[in-house]
Amino acid sequence: MEEEKKTIVRLQDVYKSYPMGDEEIRVLKGISFGVQAGSFLAIVGQSGNGKSTLLNMITGIDHPTSGKVVVAGHALHTMNENQLAGWRSQYMGIVFQFFQLIPSLNLLQNIIMPMDFAGRLSRAERRDRARDLLELVGLADQEQKLPANISGGQQQRAAIARALANDPPLIVADEPTGNLDNQTSEEVFSLFSKLVKQGKTLIMVTHNLELARRVPRRIEIENGLIARDVYHELTPPAIPRNYHEPVVASP
């Protein structure tokens, strides 16, 4: 029971196949692991090995062919698209490789937008929170600028602020440094580490093995399977890869 409280992400025997003509292409082949709340996990693997598909399972963008996906106490594999959209706005922030800021909105407006969707704060509170988040990521003096008028690194920091807008417990970053130079990648990585120290759970999908090796835990995906689940020697595995505690469906 105590382990259950500490686990924010659980995948159990997850398979995913896609039809291709008269055949099915199996991309994930029985993935099981748990992620402890407040931890930092890197998922690595070459293109075509199932890394992006695995990410889609965790974010609820796609459903498994079979198996169970439970994130923040909710069984994503049982939820429809409307339920998932509402769930994501409350429990998950997503950071993309190409930022995906709305070009016609300034930075402040981009960060307010997820709060408008969630509808949990007053208009004044949303604006104040957006400004606090811009300060957190070092962009307090850029709030009125459009995304096209700032650097790529600044856009990614704004995207991280947007991901934090509704104070989700889990942040998922999809190749967050893939479009950045080395110095800016370091700045983004440092910000992620800071967020984990503040209690967020962070899952980063990356091709950058050198960066991933600096994360306390690294899962390497090969041919749709977990090839390695590596913990830093100072961070013992609290939850094993073959974690199979019964899953309780969300209401």
Q: Which domain holds residue 164?
A: 39-63+80-231
pLDDT band with cut points at 50, 70 and 90 for residue 5: very low
> Tell me, what's the pLDDT at 236?
39
Residue-wise pLDDT tens digits, 35-73: 999 999 999 988 888 898 999 999 999 999 999 999 999
Mean pLDDT score across all residues of the chain: 87
Classify residue 221: in a domain, yes or no. Answer: yes
pLDDT of residue 98: 80
Number of domains in the chain: 1
pLDDT, tens digit (0-9, with 9 covering 90-100), for 134-159 = 999 999 999 999 999 999 889 989 99
User: What is the percent of the chain where pLDDT is above 90?
Assistant: 66
Q: Enter the pTM of the model.
A: 0.85
Q: What is the model's pLDDT at position 30?
A: 95
Residue 46 lies in a domain: yes
* Res 100: pLDDT: 87
Is residue 116 pLDDT above 70, yes or no?
yes
Task: Tell me what pLDDT residue 224 has.
Answer: 94
- Tokens 């402040």 sit on residue: 108
Inside any domain, residue 247 = no
Residue 24 lies inside a defined structural domain of this protein: no
Residue 135 placed within a domain: yes
Taking residues 180-204, report their average pLDDT.
90
For the record, the structure tokens of 119 come out as: 């509808």
What tens digit of pLDDT does each residue of 203-234 get? 999 888 888 889 999 999 999 999 999 986 44
Rounded Cα gap, residues 218 and 207, in angstroms:
12
Q: How confident is the model at residue 233, as a pLDDT?
A: 46
pLDDT digits (tens, 9 = 90+) for 6-28: 899 999 999 999 988 888 899 99
Tell me the CATH number at 155: 3.40.50.300
Over residues 158-177, the pLDDT tens digits come to 999 999 999 999 999 998 88
Q: What is the mean pLDDT of residues 188-205?
A: 93
Structural domain includes residue 195: yes
User: Is 223 part of any domain?
Assistant: yes
pLDDT for 22: 85
- Those residues with Cβ within 8 angstroms of residue 136's Cβ, 6 or more apart along the chain or in another chain: 161, 164
Taking 70 as the threshold, does the pLDDT of residue 249 lie above it?
Answer: no
Domain membership flag for residue 238: no
